[in-house]
Structure 1
């Protein structure tokens, strides 16, 4: 899984750089971390952020977001460490995509 470079949004503005979605990626978690997903495919697709937290010993459900077809555009987050940080490194969240054709993503922090 490749770690997407997190891009800071500044008061002066940000023109984000988007990467083609891979079957799975990781992003840096944090209270101000977001994932921006654009889908120009003819079909909707889903983005799944793997939850790692537990409440009273019960796992928290994964975050599943549907991105509409053709001009789909979703900001997902915040991707907090408390809910999504990997047990392996305590920082990154695992992201999977139901489709990667004509899907681009950017990891952002505000």
Structure 2
């Protein structure tokens, strides 16, 4: 199955309405169009344990895959993550979640 797309809401000086969160999909995971100026807001809606979001880095270094970046999101909290330079993360940011309790929003700055 293809990854679930997370829409990017562009922040403007005039302001924008708050977007709807994308529910975490631990089976298909997610993809976000990335121009190097994207910030991800991840909310752990669970109240019992921390959850993990994984940011995949494409490419190889000396023929070896690059270790993905992981961020722990404590229970009942949110974290802003980013921006993501395209030379490291690519034009299609791949985001994996370990549980559907994680809720995603992406913003262009």
Distance 1:14 1:38 in 2: 19
Query: Any residues of structure 2 matched to 1:25-104 within 5 Å, and which?
Result: 25-42=30-47, 43-55=49-61, 59-70=65-76, 72-85=77-90, 91-101=91-101, 103-104=102-103
Query: How far did 1:12 drift?
Result: 2.2
Query: How far did 1:13 drift?
Result: 2.2
Number of aligned residue pairs: give it.
103
TM-score of the superposition, structure 1-length normalised? 0.81
Judge conservation of contact 1:51–1:62 (CA < 8 Å) in 2: yes
Two-structure CA RMSD over aligned residues (Å): 1.7
Pick from 24, 35, 40 the counterpart of residue 21 of structure 1.
Answer: 24
Distance 1:64 1:56 in 2: 22
What 5-or-longer segments of structure 1 have no aligned partner?
A: 86-90
Query: How far did 1:31 drift?
Result: 1.8
The residue aligned with 1:9 is 11
The residue aligned with 1:105 is 104
Q: Relative to 1, partners in 2 of residues 1:60 and 1:16: Cα closer, same or farther, differing over 3 Å?
A: farther
Judge conservation of contact 1:16–1:106 (CA < 8 Å) in 2: no
Query: How far did 1:11 drift?
Result: 1.4
